[in-house]
Amino acid sequence: MPSVVFRRGLDLKDAVAADLAAAYHSRIVDEIRESGFTRVTGRLTIHLAREFGFCYGVDRAVDYAYQTRKRFPDKRVFLTGEIIHNPHVNDRLRAQQIRFLSDAAERDTVLGPDDVVILPAFGVSVGELARLSREGCTLVDTTCGSVLNVWKNVRRYAQDGFTSIIHGKADHEETRATASQATDFPSGHFLIVRDEAEADLVCQFIRHGGDGGPLLAHFGGSLSPHFDPARHLARVGCANQTTMLMSESLRIGEMFREAMRDRYGEAELAARFRAFDTICSATQERQDAVIGLLGEHALGLMVVIGGYNSSNTCNLARICAERVPTFHIADPACLVSDLEIRHRPIGAPSTAAVSEVVTRQWLPAGPVGLGLTAGASTPNNIVGQVIERLSAWGTPG
């Protein structure tokens, strides 16, 4: 029996609106927005980026999850994995008895037609979607529209015989799902590059050819099956995980353009190279906003809020750290005191297992301009709690 698939909500938006507002709204965030994104408390001036926190895709995914639980109160409801990379949001969904198939306790779960499965904002692989459909589960698809746009381009590359060069993290749910779109076609192939250094390895092979063995050994699981560098790097199309650093994705695209031009000449370029801007608009807006914040105000430090395995949050922290001391925190509890902070080291691998470090004397004495932003999976209530805690330290007791 074919699966029933909900892709446009479950007609219960109004029914869950109050629950969502109670869980994620923040009065103090509304106030700081209305005050020009600045809050002065004693010696501390907090400057909030003009774009931060939940994006449309994340907001929609969480909304659909709440609607699902409301629509199917007596059924088992599962998520294939984290709906977004924010532990606070995921724990709230667990509290509503939404079970995560990625949790160790659920690894042996057998699904069937009576079960409901929510697909996260990152999407799922072609193979996983086919498996869930075969099992007849009711599916609620919250895949972000920006991710679907990348998939459309990758599928077009594969249909036309181009290998997809994906700028992303090979272990990220979105990147794995995107790569599976390429191999859904017999002639489709992909190669995932993490950064400019890895892109350069591939570009050097494109320019000079030679033994493809070292390239295969280096990339391992970041390649499609039966990848032949000599054949499959002759025509390439660039794409990316939507939450990567925009400037880096653009540079990587240009690196591949130049490599193909060097190897095959300008006349062959259109037949051998393609690229589309597939950075999520919300990701770009948040990156642009934090760059604007850094340029507009004299800041002593930045605090960036979001899950440690959130790619877009990690990239916001990278941008900030190039200009001022920056602390990436997961939640308000990381602000231990005005003398001590727990945070993620900038540049550490963005995995759930990354270790926090503790910095003491993190908040300078005297008047301080502090910049604040949050990743696209961070709800306003968490941002508000951080502002409240910081404000208490700005005013002497």
Annotated catalytic residues are 174
Between the alpha carbon of residue 31 and those of residues 25, 34, 144, 326, the distances in Å are 12, 5, 29, 25
Between the alpha carbon of residue 392 and those of residues 92, 245, 367, 377, 389, the distances in Å are 27, 33, 14, 25, 5
Residue 192 CB-half CA count within 13 A: 23
Dihedral of the alpha carbons of 353, 327, 390, 292, in degrees to the nearest 10:
-130
Q: Where are the alpha helices (DSSP H) in 52-172?
A: 56-71, 87-95, 126-134, 145-159
Q: Is the separation of the CB atoms in 93 and 111 below 8 Å?
A: no
Q: How open is the CA angle 370-92-150, to the nearest 5 degrees?
A: 75
Nearest to 272 by CA among 233, 215, 223: 233
Between the alpha carbon of residue 237 and those of residues 123, 190, 312, 383, the distances in Å are 21, 9, 23, 38
**Helix, strand or coil for residue 142?**
coil
Q: Is the separation of the CB atoms in 379 and 85 below 8 Å?
A: no
d(CA 275, CA 205): 19
Tell me which H or E stretch contains 227.
Answer: none
Two tokens at 230?
Answer: 């000599």
β-bridge pairing 138-141 and 5-6: parallel
d(CA 185, CA 333): 47
Tell me which H or E stretch contains 40.
Answer: strand 38-41
Farthest-apart Cα atoms in the chain, separation: 71
DSSP state of 185: S
Two tokens at 108?
Answer: 């042996």
Angle at which helices 173-182 and 145-159 cross, to 10°: 30
Q: Is the separation of the CB atoms in 76 and 114 below 8 Å?
A: yes
